[in-house]
Amino acid sequence: MTAVMVILFLISFLLFGATVYYSMILKKSRMYPPKTIIRKKIQTLGTFAVASLLLGIILLYIPAG
Going by the DSSP 8-state scheme, the letter that residue 28 receives in this structure is: S
pLDDT in tens, 39-65: 999 999 999 999 999 999 999 898 876
pTM: 0.86
List phi, psi (to 5°) of 31: -90, -35
Contacts of 60 (CB under 8 A, 6+ apart): 5
Going by the DSSP 8-state scheme, the letter that residue 64 receives in this structure is: P
